Structure 1
Amino acid sequence: MKPSGFTLLELLITLSVLSVTLLVAVPQLHDSLVQAEVDTKSKLLLSSISQARHEAIKRNAFVVMRATGGWERGWVIFIDSNQNAQQDAGEPLIFSYSDESKLQIQGNSTLSSYIGYTGSGRTRQASGAFLAGSILVCSPNRTRKIIVNAGGRARMDELAENGCTD
């Protein structure tokens, strides 16, 4: 009768091949997961911007999408009755999103904390001044740039390098 099973040498060779394969695959899997998170978060942000614009047009009201402590921590969309870009008592909440993302999400100076939409769907600051700019969603290997123009339309581009500052 022939014994069945693995010899110690066969087992060591199999484990060596498996460990080399894992050493190559795991970092690439991590990079893929981070890139997918950048894509998902930027699409969610773009969708929320579009929702804020849509609600402003639908309700013919000033609607604000405001970062909650920073864009990476989340945002809220609300009707801003007194146009001060702050959610005060009695101003209805339309949408809320919160997350503790490890990604960097940075708005330029005009979009650092909020985006305001008038009833016509155009972007405006709470003071009524012109509002346009961009928000970057960054990881070390991928950066998405969401650009909001003065007409209120938003679009997304991919940048070749990390555009976020530390």
Structure 2
Amino acid sequence: MKRIIAGVSLVELLVVLVLAGILLGAAASAYHDVMRRQQLRVAVNDLVAAIDLTRSHAIARGGPVMLGPLEPSGRDWAKGWIVFVDANGNRRPDAGEQRLFQHGPLPAGMTVVSAFSSGGTPLYLAYNGAGRSCAASNSLSARWGTLSLARGDDARNIKINMLGRLRVCDPAIDRVNCGGVND
């Protein structure tokens, strides 16, 4: 009787393991890029939703509602943001003021830069009762600008026009119409 021995040689096993390692390395890199882009997409959608909420509450209230960085100095959007009714006009959410929504910090490595027609700190975005973006000190004064979110080489700009309407664009795809933060 002849006996057939089935098995895998050590060389064959090593070749399979090397190939699996190469494929796993390529897949891990691609997965990391996909996760980075997805985190940016989620952050942009969350900020757009907060802007829409600010505008809709201003229209519903018939008066100004603000969106600003959550961080105490009001300079860093990446640490989160808050939608609130600024009763005392200092552009910061204080005790006793109505807080409508609050978003926590963004993932590490994500940056948010803002540039609006009237600068200064604390940073903010305000809407008046007509649903138009406005200055905090004067609800009839138009205020427009850009919020730019970036993670690595990927970036998205949220452009807010004089009427308070927004659009999201990718400056890598449409540099002319999307431009940078200061456009």
User: What TM-score, normalized to structure 2?
Assistant: 0.81
For 1:67 and 1:14, locate their aligned partners in 2 and report how far apart those are by CA, in whole Å: 52
Larger radius of gyration: 2
For 2:160 and 2:32, locate their aligned partners in 1 and report how far apart those are by CA, in whole Å: 31
Q: Which residue of 2 aligns with 1:10?
A: 12
For 2:180 and 2:163, locate their aligned partners in 1 and report how far apart those are by CA, in whole Å: 24
1:119 aligns to 2:129 (yes or no): yes
CA contact (8 A) 2:66 2:126 kept: yes
Question: What is the Cα deviation at residue 132 of structure 1?
Answer: 0.4
1:35 aligns to 2:42 (yes or no): no
For 2:127 and 2:88, locate their aligned partners in 1 and report how far apart those are by CA, in whole Å: 13
Tell me the matched-pair count: 164
Q: Select which of 141, 149, 153 maps to 1:141.
A: 153
CA contact (8 A) 1:143 1:163 kept: no
AA matched with 2:35:
L
Question: What is the Cα deviation at residue 141 of structure 1?
Answer: 2.6
CA contact (8 A) 2:127 2:133 kept: yes
For 1:163 and 1:6, locate their aligned partners in 2 and report how far apart those are by CA, in whole Å: 58
AA matched with 1:118:
N
Unaligned runs of 5+ in 1: none
1:29-55 Cα distance to aligned partner (Å, 9 max, x none): 111111111111111111110110000
Q: Which residue of 2 aligns with 1:75?
A: 81
Q: Which residue of 2 aligns with 1:103?
A: 110
Question: What is the Cα deviation at residue 89 of structure 1?
Answer: 2.6
Unaligned runs of 5+ in 2: 174-178
Question: What is the Cα deviation at residue 140 of structure 1?
Answer: 2.4
1:64-91 Cα distance to aligned partner (Å, 9 max, x none): 0011231111100011123331222321
1:45 aligns to 2:52 (yes or no): no
For 1:117 and 1:82, locate their aligned partners in 2 and report how far apart those are by CA, in whole Å: 16
User: How high is the sequence identity, in percent, across the aligned residues?
Assistant: 27
User: What TM-score, normalized to structure 1?
Assistant: 0.89
1:108-136 Cα distance to aligned partner (Å, 9 max, x none): 15477210111111111212143100001
For 2:86 and 2:129, locate their aligned partners in 1 and report how far apart those are by CA, in whole Å: 11
Moved over 4 A (4+): 109-112, 161-164
CA contact (8 A) 2:56 2:131 kept: yes
For 2:59 and 2:6, locate their aligned partners in 1 and report how far apart those are by CA, in whole Å: 74
